[in-house]
Homo-oligomer: A and B are copies of this chain.
Amino acid sequence: MPKVLDKRSAILKTALDLLVENGFHNTPMSLIAREAGVSAGIIYHYFESKEELILELYREVKRNIIGLLLAGDVRKLNGLDALRQVWLNTYRYYVSHPKETLFLEQFENSPYARMCLHDFDSQIQPLFEWIEAQKRAGNMADLPMEILYELSLGFAISLAKQQIAGSIQVTDVVLDEVSRVILRGLKPG
């Protein structure tokens, strides 16, 4: 990996840690620089501004996630199994990436996020198409896309957040039961 990516990555990684820990506005650029082991000025060589750094971090995290949702050869599974797999993929990603999870939640609920929330429409398109196919195949309730999304992935995320926060311990048994409940809800009819 070229050095240049090394430093840029170090900044992004450190930013993620600190932003989650302290929040956007309690994380001075100078602190990010210090923790990343670089000078204060160099950040502006890689990112236009603090805001742009955060946006870039958001884009990168989001790209990663979207790439993983359909992982595990989901397309080869049939109806309910595929559904269950996507659901589990989502849940597991979020649980195993607590910082990314908290960052996304913080970012997406901040007022200045509104400018780029639809940047990912094109990347998430495959998932939407897959859901549409499931609906047409009669594997899923005929509800608006956003609601189906919320019922499945939104809930996976909420569950992961609670697990991260330590409010609950999601054992495999519970996970099994929960996914059963979800699927029952999403089934057509």
Contacts and interface: CB of A to CB of B under 8 A. Distances in A.
A105 B181 CA distance: 26
A68 interface: no
Interface residues of A, number: 36
Interface string A106-133: 1001111000000000000000000000
Interface stretch (A3-11, A79-87, A90-98, A139-147): A139-147
27 contacts: A20-B111, A21-B111, A22-B111, A23-B111, A23-B112, A24-B25, A26-B111, A26-B112, A102-B109, A102-B111, A105-B109, A106-B109, A106-B110, A109-B109, A143-B174, A143-B177, A143-B181, A144-B168, A144-B174, A146-B168, A147-B159, A147-B162, A147-B168, A147-B174, A181-B185, A184-B184, A185-B185
